[in-house]
Amino acid sequence: MQPVIDLNSPVGADEFSALMKDVGPWLPDVPEAPVGLAVSGGGDSLALALLARRWRRHVLAFVVDHALRPESGAEAYLTVERLEAMGIKARVLTLAPFPKGRLQERARDARFEALEAACVEAGCLDLLVAHHLHDQDETVWMRHHAGSGPRGLAGMEMTTLRGRIRIVRPCLTLHPDRLRATLRSEGLAWIEDPSNQNRRFERVRWRQDLSSTQRDQAREWQISAQGLRHSEEDELARVLAKSAVWHPAGWVHLAPEGVCESTLPPLIRLVSGRRYRPSREQVQALVLRGEGTLGGVMMRPAGRFGEGVVLVREERAVERPIRVDAEALWDGRWRCNAQNLPTNSLIGAVGDEATRLNARRLGLPKAALRTLPALWQGGQIIGLPDVLAGTGTVPFFWAGGVPVTGESGAIG
């Protein structure tokens, strides 16, 4: 029987330290490697900031101003003042305008892109976010309503890799009332965002409408689904270790026994750099055909590479050339680590210039060669990627996001 917890009881320092130990290990508590905090100014994230500061000396808060409401800028700087009064260094990240439509989804994507870049600049490998028990319930119900299987019903996990940082959710088992009680115990105020009451957003409707019985049901589903998901992940890792070979140039050789419905979705997501896996029905159709394109990836017989198939990026799906800068992520997969590059240079696919190279000698499919990144200037390639050993010199590194196995629930 679960112990009854007083929802008016603040979260203690020892309790929070135990939660953080569960998601460790952690770097030494030094100024060169602060732990990042995503703080909106609301009660949940401000309580997280207070608890994190008790747990660790060197933390750095990032307050994102979405610039969607006239008062949001003033609220962001008020939050910074409150954080600094708590002994927490803080920075405001103001987002550029983004297209209308799917407001919450676009705002979330823009927010985490800004947070990731800010963390990298500040030396933060980890970013704490304040998702709590009720957020988890709502996520599980939303996924259940959408027809998700065990992978979705397992909900959000305590840690998730996103690009170059780790997202940590230490409060997932904490009731939101206890987070607010933690602030009240210190006499601290917070901001209430009116969008959190706007029922045109799906999550708000679930938040307002779920009964306590439905929340209990969500937790039962989640516990059951987590066990199934972990078993599936273990089996997937076993099959991939035996049948898949990942090549640094961004393609995969998959043995015949590995061409199945469980392996293809994560591998397609890996090779394409896309956030989401293709649907089960699409994957089933691809397995039956034995070759074809799906999710920005081409699957075809391996030919000279042996039995099975190769998975390579689909050329017509690659991103157009982009300007080089320190944060440039090209095609959702590659970053350039070179210094002092020409300011008017671009990152784009090798494309037709691949005909000047010998793909066989380089040991990769022609299609993979054509979709590698290169440095362009004035319509000419001025640098090939150093993954082409003995040919390329420009340092590009893979930045495709989460690993094939062990990925967690989506970031909210």
Please check if 211 is assigned to a binding site: no
| Strand partners for 65 | 94
Please check if 40 is assigned to a binding site: yes
In sequence order, what are the residues at sequence separation of 6 or more whose Cβ sits closer than 8 angstroms to the Cβ of residue 378? none
Quote the tokens at residue 135. 């957020």
CB 174 within 8 A of CB 133: yes
The string over 57-86, giving b where at least 16 C-beta atoms fall within 10 Å of a residue's C-beta and e elsewhere, is ebbbbbbbbbeeeeebeebbeebbebbeeb
Please check if 72 is assigned to a binding site: no
CB 313 within 8 A of CB 297: yes
CB 190 within 8 A of CB 183: yes
Please choose, from the candidates 305, 408, 312, 328, the residue with its C-alpha nearest in 3D space to the C-alpha of residue 375.
328
Please check if 44 is assigned to a binding site: yes
Please choose, from the candidates 16, 61, 21, the residue with its C-alpha nearest in 3D space to the C-alpha of residue 182.
16
**Binding-site entries for ATP:** 40-45
- For the annotated binding site, the residues are 40-45
